[in-house]
Structure 1
């Protein structure tokens, strides 16, 4: 028996103009991306082969725009994910770039904000890429837990351009390997990782 936590996918989350501007910004900041890190148990963040990608925390003027769009739909997301209502605190953002071989092994996103120390409650991932798409793979796999009476299988979600995925931060998930040999940085799989913290 297995249980799959609720998740939802929203297409056309941002305007085409804003989505393109964020992509252009990512390309312009290529030199400022650094290897992604992982941490567990409150330990030091480290670069490991469990997470292969590049990240940038500075989203400049796009940060407030993304947060505003998330806040506008947050009540509906909380309801659809069947999460008990809570007061929203910080919305943490991170821009991620995934080239050939990029992946993130099965994990959960529970953690606390580095400044407020308030816990993550909801994880959201906003996907964007140039069109036509130059890479394959990179699906988000939502894993099951061996509990409950349901008999379900893991679900693979395609990282569609200009789409947003939302799920509880405690839900186990994985980024499957990206296939993008000889693909330029501007054509990689880009994502804005977002975490809604409890106030």
Structure 2
């Protein structure tokens, strides 16, 4: 496993200037990326098992045959179904918390499986930036507090899609209120790579194009969180 921090294949760039009415402070979002996380054979098995889980959900929700390869799909919490990924995230958690400077007491690992077969390059339809700490996530407990997010990327080889970077934005603070900065880093969705970042950072999946429209040529990822366990949050 190789590991790198902050700028590993995640170039900081700037969006077009938006203009500001007042002075803002920009805070760089720290990230922590690992490559070759599970190894080729284990990652390929995980991809196959993830596709089975996705198709089980598609069928379970009564989608017709014409929708068997939807443009996007998100499965519910899959942590119990994929213990190998849960184990590696748990093992890396202490190091990640130190590198990001975000402590999590008795961390609980949760993640869902996501598929993007097509995300148009269209501002009206493009997924907007979101923050995990600002909204619901798969199966949160009543006292959970999301502190660190992670994305484990995987895909068939050779890659059957283009795009699909995870764009992680820096944060501006203006008049005491956080906002999305013009600067960001694009993390490439390389097979068997894992990136961690604070859950209060804004991020988005960049447009995806899969010319074949086949399921296995999609962008796949396990998108998860490290949160304080219910018992720790109640202390």
User: How many pairs were matched up?
Assistant: 179
2:151 is matched with which residue? 125
Q: Is the 8 A contact 2:119 2:206 kept in 1?
A: no
Q: Please give the residue correspondences for 1:165-176 in structure 2 after superposition, counting only pairs within 5 Å.
A: 165-176=195-206
Task: Say if 1:20 and 1:94 are closer, same or farther in 2 by CA, change over 3 A.
Answer: same
- More moved, 187-196 vs 18-27: 18-27
**Whole-Å separation in 1 of the counterparts to 2:95 and 2:218:** 31
Matches within 5 A, 1:175-190: 175-190=205-220
Aligned partner of 2:184 in structure 1 is 154
The runs of 5 or more residues in structure 1 that have no matched partner are 35-51
Choose the corresponding residue for 2:129, options 106, 127, 143: 106
TM-score, scaled to structure 2 = 0.69
Report what 1:95 is aligned to: 113
The answer on whether the counterparts of 1:122 and 1:196 sit within 8 Å (CA) in structure 2 is yes
Paired residue for 1:8?
Answer: 32
* C-alpha RMSD of the superposition: 2.4
Q: CA deviation at 1:98?
A: 0.8
Aligned partner of residue 119 in structure 2, secondary structure? coil
The structure with the larger Rg is: 2
Task: Please list the CA deviations of residues 149-170 of structure 1 after superposition, one character each: whole Å capped at 9, or x if unmatched.
Answer: xx98211111111000100000
Runs (5+) with no aligned partner, structure 2: 1-24, 59-70, 121-125, 175-180, 230-235
Query: How far apart, in 1, do the equivalents of 2:38 and 2:111 lie?
Result: 16
TM-score, normalised to structure 1, is: 0.80
Structure with more of its chain in strand, by fraction: 2
Structure 1 residue 62: Cα displacement: 4.7
Q: Look up the match of 1:49.
A: none
CA-to-partner distance for each residue in 1:82-125, whole Å, 9 max, x for gaps?
Answer: 21x33133211101111012753201001565334311110000
Alpha-carbon distance between aligned partners in 2 of 1:20 and 1:89, rounded to the nearest angstrom: 27
